[in-house]
Structure formats: structure tokens, C-alpha cells
Amino acid sequence: MKVSRRTFLSIGSFIVGGAAGTALSPLPWKLTDDLSIWTQNWPWTPKPERGDVSYVNSVCTLCPGGCGLSVRKVNDRAVKIEGMKGHPVNDGGICILGLSGLQLLYGPTRVKTPLKRVGERGQGKFKKISWDEALAEAAEKLGALRAEGKSHTVACISGSAGGTVPQLLKRLLTAYGSPNFMSVPTMQDAYAVTLKQMHGIDACPGFDVENADFVLSFGSGIIEGWGSPVRMFKANSAWQDKKIKVVQIESNKSNTAAKAAKWIPARPGSEGVLALGIAHVMLRDGLYKKEACDGAAGFEDFKKWVADNYAPENIAAATGIQKETVESLAKEFAAAASPIALCGRGQGRTPGSQYEFMAVHALNMLAGNINKAGGVQIIPEPKYIAWTEPELDEIAQKGTASPRIDGAGSETYPHAKSLLNRLPQAILTAEGASPVQALLISEANPCYTLSDTQAVKKAFAKIPFVVSFSSYMDESAQNADIILPNHACLERLEDVPTFAGLSKPVIGLSKPVIKPQFDTKHTGDAVIALAKALGDKIAAAFPWESYEACLKETLGDKWEILNEKCFVAAEENIEAPLQFFTQECKTVSAEGDEKQYPFVLMPYDSIRLANGFIGNTPFLTKTVPDTVLKKNEMLVAVNPKSACGDSLSLKEGRSVMLTTPKGSAKVRVHLSEEIMPGVIAVPRGLGHTAYDKYLAGKGVNCNELIGPAEDAGSGLDAVWGIRAKLSNVSI
Amino acid sequence: MSTSVDQKKEVSTEVGDGAGGFAILFFLLGLVASLIVGWVAFPKLLYSQKNQPIDFNHELHIGLVDEGCESCHFFREDGTYSGVPKLEQCIGCHEEVQGQSKDEAVFVEQYVKPGREVPWFIYAKQPECVFFSHVAHVKAGGMDCVTCHGHIGESSSLKVYEENRITGYSRDIWGKNISGIKTNTYDRMKMDDCSECHVKKGVNQSSVQTGKGACFVCHK
Ligand code: SF4
């Protein structure tokens, strides 16, 4: 049919008129609004049920930060985690990990019942068993080892050393007859050794950053998750508002460096030398607090030693920092009313070089800020856990007297309390049977977090019996023989002593917000049950009916107030005499041959990547930019000016092979001017192989590529990087 | 030459006149039809009309109780709010049928006696994603009921509940006026209406992203 011009025009006009009329009516706007609301009501969109709303206060245990939480519940379900208003650590603030903690609570990665391995180690094949069976089996294995006189071959790795649960585990080992209780080392351990050596006391450092007026940070990721993350974020905002100067010394331009008033890119590993260069200027020009330092033990020797060895012009080659910069930095630091120097690289989750810590602490001593407002507070270790010493039977006496497998406390490492980083090598280099015959792991994931994970896994394979108390199917749980799953965070009652650099530390009480959802058991109860099953003096060392009874008794008169407020103040700071030192400040160098490996690989921390025992929540992973993780591929940051030979050209997004003396991995390149030329910056916290599909298979675990570097002073792991090379991917 | 030019002129005027008129006519037809659809037919189609299970006379009750609205719509001790009263509140007086009304008989027979809650349609029910706390508004903010709910307390019968067929929510949220224009504070209760008042009262205007009221105040 032929459409006449007239018909065509008429239809056209009708349509145009219709469109005009429709636009003049509410229909399109209302329909758009309704359709968008309709999409919120799709049946698969999760929404909380309607019901009684309540709030429960608790304390977060997802990182050492110790933030107070206020959790909103609808009926029996927790629906939102918020920061607790008025809490001394975070006063209503919360980080993205804490905020998304419900995904760990309700996510698919939980271990729901006790499990027993049925496949090969690490295959992840388990069968469900009952609690009675699981505890009986563990007790039987431990009992047998003890009967053979091998009680000292049992070791325990705990996420932290503080709090009643780690202390119950330690007590179990002691009463059983083993000295091998180890905790996962962090910068707190390096600081503890520092304070022991420079004040002669067992103490923890507190940093009164809220009252400091000049902040000199030696690579501390102030807004990367260092210390207690929410508190540091708040402090950083307050500094910006008050125009307080922050100077960041760090080879790469981290977020902290980007926000700092000044960024000084020193050569990685040379931070301690730089600190002593600053000390040199302060001493030379008389800019130190004389009333604090003159007459202090070792001060004159220190002064001479620093004068002889650390003149700014002499350290320029090692640090890459010009003399003038060091001079002006020292003057600014000394001129401030309450300056503070911080160290602990990135989040401070790995200890670092002892001499670097001591050098930086010396700056604080020279500035006279020890135990002063805005300075470093010296706080004794918490004393609220005052159980009577367990009575030891003969086996236990003999067992606990044998040397520790990790060498901590020995002549070589007199100040270290535990040296977990030395454990894998101790097992691998031992002749004959493994010196560890049974291992208990609580709130730790050594198979992921320790440097040189391949070696760690090899060492673990030599341990005949591994028990994990993990709430999640993490890499270490996957390599265990028996899993005795703990209640998750927000399901369990626990004391949370929080130091994390707080100037006024607190003891928090993490209260259960919801009932345990699965057939899990509090690790405290599991330990008591194991002790009871082992019988005799071991059982007698655990007189409590349950963990709750133990905690209640331990906390004594604090119990009630803790239940009400969820926190009480911990110890106050104590007097600390100064002791200077004169050891040579050895820089810890990166492993590997410079010719073969022209680059230096450095892991970096980010608040968007949880890199410890707790892995990323799906929500957290969503916030990771695609210059770090694109789909499942990890990007490493490289400066475009880096020389990498003729055969390889660096292009954004290009796939390359990253090889270090410890291993190699396929990664993509992200070109960034914020990285020092010659450095490859690798995010820490990716590359999980266990947990669930939301976490596993994304990127590469940087710990697989680096090896531990034992610090000559403390024995702790001081690794900050490793030499590396990039090459074409063979197709 | 001149003839052919004239002819052409004629032809073109003829076509022009007729088509132009039609075009305007059809344009107007289209305009009017779509305006009718948009303003009249669409709202009729969009909402389904539902009667409440039984009628309720606020005016009558308010005369009989001691504490005004709070007699039935009260705060529980923990600060939560009894928005729609439960049977428990009615039972005191309505164990037996009161008065002559048919609805009263139905209420007592079908709900009170078997102990079944009345499935009221809630005019003011906000979407699932909205966190609303009465105590924050009434006690802390000092607002009265009328600001949001209008003069329902003075009505003698419940109006028809109009349910949006697409969203499933009450028409009162968007407002009776389909164009979304309001004259009273209680005419509509969309997000803009909440935030208008939040901005005025300075409720937690701390969102870094939007510079407005923080989203988390209502979207928890
Ligand atoms: S900073 Fe640490 S303790 Fe605080 S909320 Fe985040 S994860 Fe929890």
C-alpha cells in the first residue's frame, strides 16, 4: 500500500502530539520512579525482615584496632555494624572492613562443624565429625605424644599473645609440657624489643598523636591501616584541620605520602640510617632536649657514635636524600613543641628492622617526648590476667625446660618472646623427624601470611598433626588434620586488650551480638575441654567450668562495667629511664643478585585489602581499584622510567612474568609515577587460595614471592622487599 | 511558460493547505489523547483500590480515650513505636460488640474472638530500604503527628487504600496529586520530603560525597 504524504504527515503529527502530551503529563516521571522502586523489590534482592529492632554493643576483632561497635539487629539477625559513639578508640567511626563484617559472619566461608581431614593435606577434603569425636581425637594424639616424652614437640601459633584465649592456649602448652607458644609477630614485637633495650622494661608504646604538632613518619601507613586504623584516620583528619605538618619518609607515594605536607622518598631499607642522620644534626647543633638526655645511660657514647658515622653528607649515598633535606628536617622536628616520630612499615603487620625502630625511637628520646603530651607513652603490659601458675608434673617440667624451637629467649635472641618467622626453617632444616609433631593454630593463618609461603607449606607438610581453631576455611585450616571451629566475631564473648599504639590503651569486651549459627565452639571452651580430657595436673590447671566462668573470674570487678560499656582503661604509662645505644645501624638489604634481578619488589598495604588472618570481604574487594585488581588479575605498579632491558617494554596493562629468588607469578603492569624507578610495588592481601569463591583466585599472594629476612638484632622478620625481574610471558 | 508556473503554484498551495491542517488536527488529537491518558487514565490504572478489612472511626475513638493519639499509638519502654495498634490494645473495650455498626460486629467476631490480628493496610509504610524511627522524630525532633500523617485523627472513616501496582506501596507516599505537587507537609512522603525537613533542621549534614544529609541517616 502506498502511504500518501497526507497520511504520513497525519500519523507523524499524531505521534509528535502524543509525545508532547505525554511529556506534559506526569506519566513518564512517575513511571520512571515506580520502575526504579520496582527493581528494589525483586524477589532476589535481600532485605531485612521486619521485626523488633535492637542495638547490641560489642568490640570488633577483625583487626588489632579494637574499635567499639554498635550492631543493629532485626529480631535475631544482625543487619548493620556501626561504630560505637563515645568509644575511646573510634568514637562512632568505623572502617570498611568492620562495616562489612556481616559478610564474614553470614558468608559461605564459615566452618560449620568440626571437621576431620579425609583427603591429602591441603586438598581440602574433610568429613564432618562430632565435637566429642574431634576433641577425643585431638586429646588422644596429644596424650600419646606426651606419653612418648615428646611434649616439647607440640607448638601453638596464636594470632596474638594478649587476652584470655591466647593465654589459655599458652597455659595448656605449659601444663602439658611445651615452651613453644608463638604469636604472630607485628611491629608491636619490634617495639617491645626496642623499649626493652632503650628503657630496660617490658612495655608497649602508645603514641599520643592527637596532641602532637609535628609528625615524622618513617614509612608508617597512617591512613593505610597502621596502628588502630579508625583512630589514625581521625587523627590524620584532625592534623589536616589544625594544619599540623606530617612528613612521610617512604620510597613510594602511598596515600599517606600523598596527603602528607612533605614526602621524602628515601631508599627503601635506609630509614634507620636517615633517622640517625637527623639525630646527628640535632646533636651537633644542640637541638635536643638536654634536660631529658644529658646524663642518660649511654648518651655520650651515642652522641660520639652518631657524630662519627651519620653526618648528613655521609649518608646521602645510602639514603638517596640530600644533605640539605636532612638538615632542614632535623631543624623542623626539633623546633616543634611536641614532635613525634613513628615507624612500622605500612600497616605494621610485619615487625621490621630492629635498628630502624631503635633509631626512630632515639629521635623521640632526643625530642624529649617520652611520656609527654603529644609524645611516646611507655605503657606496661596488661596485668588483669593474674592466674596462679599451673602446677607442673614431671613431664611438663622437663618439656617446658627444653629450648624453644624458634630460638626466642635464647642467647642469640634474648629479647624476643616468639619468633614465628624462624619456625618453618627450623622444621625444614631439622634432621630426621620434624621438631614439631603437633601444631595448634588459633586466629592465625601462617600458610598465607608468613613470608615464603611455599617453604611454610613444605614445613607444615612435615608436621604429623595440625589442629586449626579457625572459624573460616582459610589456607591454614585447609592444611589441618582437624578443625575445631571457633564462634565467629560477633558470636563470641572475648576480652580484647587493645594497645595498637593507643596513648590510652583499653581492655575491650567483645560481646556476642547473635547466637552462634552453627555447630561451633568457643576456642576457650575447646581448650578447657582438651585440658580436661588430658587429665591430671593439666586438667587441674583449668579449674573453670566454662570459658565464660574463666573470663568472669579473670576480669573480676571489671566484669560488670565491661558488660555495660564494653571497655575499661588499661594501664597508665610508667616512668621509663633512657638508655642510648651504639650498635651499628645495619640496613636490611633485599635478597637476590642485583644483576640477575634489576628491580626491587616491595609489598604495599592498603586499607582496602585485609591481609592478615581475616581476609577481604566481598564488599571490601569491590572497593579495590582496577589499577590493582582487574577481574582476577593483579596489577603491579612500576614507574614508566624504570629501565628493564631491551627485550621488554613496559606498557599499561601488559602481562608480564614477575620473578624473584623465591618464585614467579604472572601479573599485569600498571604504570605509575608514584613508584620509585626500579621498584615493583605489589599489593598485600590478594592471592588467596582458600576461603570462598569471593576471595580465592584473585591475584597473587606477595608472601609467595618474598622470603623472610631475619633481623640481626631481634631475630624477627625484617623483610621489606626482595630483588625481582620482569620478563615476557611465554605463550 | 507563465501557465506552467501558475499550475505548479496551484498544485503546491492545494497540497500545502490540506496537509498542514491535518497535521495540526492530528497533532492536537495526539496531544489531547496523551494528556488524558497521562493525567486521567494512567493514575486510574496505576493504583488498585483496596478497602481496609474493617472501617475505623478515629474521631469517635479520640473522644473516648484519655491520652489522645498516644492512647493507642504509643512508645514502648525501649523506645520502639507501636505504629499500628495490635489487638491487645483493642481488647480492653472490644471483648464484646459495642454499638450497632456492622464493622464492629465483624471486628469482634472475626478478629477479637479468634485472636487474629487485623491485616490493616498501612498508608504510611515506607519502602524496605528506609530506616525510620518515630522516637527520633517525635521525642527528639519534637514533631507532631499531623506534620506527616495529616488530619487522620479527625476522620470518621478510613479512606480507600490505593496500592501502586508496580511498586506495591501506598499511594500516600507519592501523594494523591499525580503530578507530585504538594500544598501541605503531609501530602506526600518521598525521599525529597524527608530530606527537605532534614536539611532545614540540620540533621547530620555530613555526607562527604553529596554535601547533603548523610545517606546512612535513613538507609542503614
Ligand atoms: S579498624 Fe579494625 S577494629 Fe576497627 S572496625 Fe576496622 S577492622 Fe574493626
For residue A400, give the H/E element and its range. Answer: helix A394-401
The Cα of B100 is separated from the nearest Cα of chain A by a number of Å equal to: 36
Which residues from A are below 8 Å from B when comparing CB atoms? 5-6, 9-22, 24-27, 29-31, 33-35, 37-38, 40-41, 47-48, 52-54, 72, 79-80
Is B147 domain-assigned? yes
Chain centroid offset of residue A359 CA: 23
Residue of higher predicted confidence among B140 and A375:
A375
Residues B45, A220: Cα–Cα separation, whole Å: 63
Q: Which residue has the cell 580484647?
A: A496
Q: Could you read off the pLDDT of A516-534 as tens digits, one per residue?
A: 999 999 999 999 999 999 9
User: How many angstroms separate the alpha carbon of residue B203 from the centre of ligand 1?
Assistant: 26
pLDDT at site B4: 47
- Across A488-492, A668-672, A725-729, least confident range: A725-729
Residue B211 predicted with pLDDT over 70: no
pLDDT digits (tens, 9 = 90+) for A611-651: 999 999 999 999 999 999 999 999 999 998 876 666 677 88
The Cα–Cα gap between B82 and B55 comes to 19
Residues A722 and A601: beta-carbon distance below 8 Å: yes
Decide which of B210 and A670 is more confident: A670
Asked if residue A94 has its Cβ within 6 Å of ligand 1, the reply is yes
Q: Is the pLDDT of residue A731 over 80?
A: no
Distance in Å, alpha carbon of B42 to nearest chain A alpha carbon = 7
B133 in the same domain as B38: no
Each domain of chain A, given as residue ranges in start order, spans: 5-106, 115-186+401-501+518-558, 204-379, 599-728
Comparing CB atoms, the residue among A14, A20, A27 nearest residue B26 is A14
A219 contacts A247 by C-beta, under 8 angstroms: no
Q: What percent of chain B has pLDDT over 70?
A: 87
Q: Is B181 part of a structural domain of the chain? A: yes
pLDDT surpassing 50 at residue A1: yes
A235 to chain B, closest Cα gap in Å: 17
**Distance between CA A431 and CA A435 in Å, rounded?**
9
Closest chain B CA to residue A5? B19
d(CA A210, CA A236): 9
CA of A615 to the centre of ligand 1 (A): 13
Of A15-19, A42-46, A344-348, A481-485, the least confident: A42-46
**Structure confidence at residue B101 (pLDDT):** 86
Q: What is each CA distance from B90 to A323, B64, B76, B134, in whole angstroms?
A: 85, 13, 16, 22
Residues of B in contact with A53 (CB under 8 A): 80
Ligand 1 centre to CA of B68 (Å) is: 47
Contact between A30 and B174 using a beta-carbon 8 Å cutoff:
yes
Q: Which atom of ligand 1 is nearest to the CA of A89?
A: 4
**H or E segment to which residue A219 belongs:** strand A214-220
Say whether pLDDT at B2 is over 50.
Answer: no
pLDDT confidence of residue A390: 95
Query: CATH for A204-379, among 3.90.550.10, 3.30.420.10, 3.40.228.10, 3.60.60.10?
Result: 3.40.228.10
* In this structure, CATH architecture of domain A115-186+401-501+518-558: 3-Layer(aba) Sandwich (3.40)
Chain B residues close to A34, C-beta within 8 Å: 46, 164, 166-167
For atom 4 of ligand 1, the residue with the nearest CA is A67
Instruction: Decide if pLDDT at A721 tops 90.
Output: yes
pLDDT tops 80 at residue A586: no
A29: which 3 cell numbers? 516521571
Q: What is the CA(A722)–ligand 1 centre distance, in A? A: 30
Average pLDDT on A535-550 reads 95
Cell numbers linked to A172? 595448656
A229 lines ligand 1 (CB under 6 A): yes
Contact at 8 Å (CB) between A616 and A234?
no
Per DSSP, which regions of A301-437 are E strands? 339-346, 376-380
Interface test with A, best of B27, B45, B130, B220 (most A CBs within 10 A): B27
Average pLDDT of every residue of chain A: 92
CA dist A201 and A270 (Å) reads: 27
- Per the structure, the count of domains in chain B is 2
Model pLDDT for residues A328-349, shown as the tens digit of each residue? 999 999 999 999 999 999 999 8
CATH architecture of A5-106: Single Sheet (2.20)
pLDDT at position B205: 66
Q: What is the mean pLDDT of residues A667-679?
A: 92
Question: Does residue B16 form part of some domain?
Answer: yes
- Residue A690 phi, psi (nearest 5): -110, -145
Does the structure show a pLDDT above 90 at A460? Answer: yes
- pTM of this structure: 0.82
pLDDT of residue B10: 46
Cell numbers representing residue A324 in the block: 640539605
Residue with the bigger pLDDT between A637 and B210: it is: A637
Contact A190, A716 (CB under 8 A): yes
Number of neighbours of residue B137 by Cβ within 10 angstroms? 18
DSSP assignment of B26-92 equals HHHHHHHHHHHIIIIIHHHHHEEEE--SS---HHHHHHH-SSGGGGTS-B-TTS-B--SPPHHHHHH
Nearest to A341 by CA among A192, A237, A205, A231: A205
- Among A69-78, B35-44, B91-100, the least confident range: B91-100
Whether residue B98 lies inside any domain: the answer is: no
* Residues contacting B214, CB < 8 A, separation 6+: B204, B205, B206, B207
Closest CA to A694 of A124, A122, A109: A109
In a domain, residue B66? The reply is no
CA dihedral (A29, A30, A33, A36) positive or negative: negative
For a mutational test of ligand 1's pocket, the pick from A57, A70, A71, A90, i.e. the residue with the most ligand atoms closer than 8 A to its C-beta, is A90
**Is the model's pLDDT at A569 over the cut of 50?**
yes
Does B12 score more than 50 pLDDT?
A: no
Residue A46: which pLDDT band, with cuts at 50, 70 and 90?
confident
Q: What is the domain extent for residue B8?
A: 2-48
Q: Which of A122-131, A522-531, A648-657 has the highest mean pLDDT?
A: A522-531
Higher pLDDT, B133 or A360: A360
* CA B187-B188-B191 angle, 5° bins: 150
Whole-angstrom distance, CA of residue A322 vs CA of residue A316: 6
Spell out where A443-530 has E strands: 465-468, 482-483, 494-498, 506-510
Nearest to A25 among B35, B46, B220 (CB): B35
Phi-psi region of A514 (alpha: psi -120 to 50; beta: other; left: phi over 0): beta
Q: What is the rounded distance in angstroms from the CA atom of residue A695 to the CA atom of residue A225?
A: 20
Yes or no: say if A210 and A503 are a contact pair by the CB < 8 Å rule: yes
| Least confident window among A95-109, A139-153, A563-577, B171-185 | A563-577
**pLDDT at position A644, please?**
65
Same domain flag for B125 and B220: yes
For residue A160, how many C-alpha atoms fall within 13 Å in the half-sphere facing its CB? 20
Q: What does A284-324 look like in DSSP terms, one character per residue?
A: HTT-S-HHHHTT-BTHHHHHHHHHHH--HHHHHHHH---HH
Query: Is B201 inside any structural domain?
Result: yes
Decide: A721 in ligand 1 pocket, CB within 6 A: no
Q: How far does A220 lie from chain B, in Å, by closest CA? A: 26
Name the percent of chain A lying above pLDDT 90: 79
**Chain position carrying cell 631499607:** A269
Most ligand 1 atoms within 8 A of CB, residue of A67, A69, A102, A105 to mutate:
A67
Ordered DSSP codes for A20-50: HHHHTSSHHHHHHHHHHHHHHT-TTS--PPP
Q: Cα separation of B105 and B119, whole Å?
A: 16
Nearest chain A alpha carbon to B16 = A6
CB-CB contact of A251 with A236 (8 Å):
no
Task: Find the range with the poorest average confidence among A414-428, A574-588, B131-145.
Answer: A574-588
Interval B167-178: pLDDT, tens? 999 999 999 999
ipTM metric: 0.85
More confident residue, A494 or B195: A494
Structural domain contains residue B213: yes
Per-residue burial over A295-329, b = 16 or more CB atoms within 10 Å of its CB, e = otherwise: eeeebeebbebbeebbbbeebbebbbbeeebbbeb
Task: Please check whether residue A194 is in contact with residue A364, taking contact to mean a CB–CB distance below 8 angstroms.
Answer: no
Nearest CA to A280 out of A262, A302, A295, A296 is that of: A302
The answer to whether A424 touches A456, Cβ cutoff 8 Å, is: yes
Is the CB of residue A222 less than 8 Å from the CB of residue A246?
Answer: yes
DSSP B140: I
Give yes or no for residue A250 having a pLDDT over 70: yes
* CA B212/CA B194 separation, integer angstroms: 12
Which CATH class, in words, describes the domain spanning A599-728?
Answer: mainly beta
Instruction: Residue count of chain B, please give it.
Output: 220
- Let me know if residue B209 belongs to a domain: yes
Residues B212 and B131 placed together within one structural domain of the fold: yes
- For position B96, what pLDDT does the model report? 87
Q: Give the number of the atom of ligand 1 that is nearest the alpha carbon of residue A228.
A: 1
pLDDT recorded at residue A645: 63
Measured N-to-C along each axis, helices A558-565 and A547-555 cross at an angle, to the nearest 10 degrees, of 110
Which residues fall within 8 angstroms of residue A181, CB to CB, at 6 or more apart? A155, A156, A158, A161, A169, A170, A173, A174, A418
Asked if B38 and A40 come within 8 Å (Cβ–Cβ), the reply is: no
Q: Do B23 and A41 touch (CB under 8 A)?
A: no
| Pick among B75, B135, B162, B166 to test the A interface (most A CBs inside 10 A) | B166
pLDDT the model gives residue A340: 97
How many C-beta atoms surround the C-beta of residue B188 within 10 A? 18
Cα separation of A443 and A529, whole Å? 18
Q: Nearest-CA neighbor of A404 among A679, A724, A180?
A: A180
| Shared domain check, B216 and B127 | yes
pLDDT of B18 strictly over 70: no
pLDDT of residue B5: 46
Helices (runs of H) and strands (runs of E) counted in chain A: 25, 26
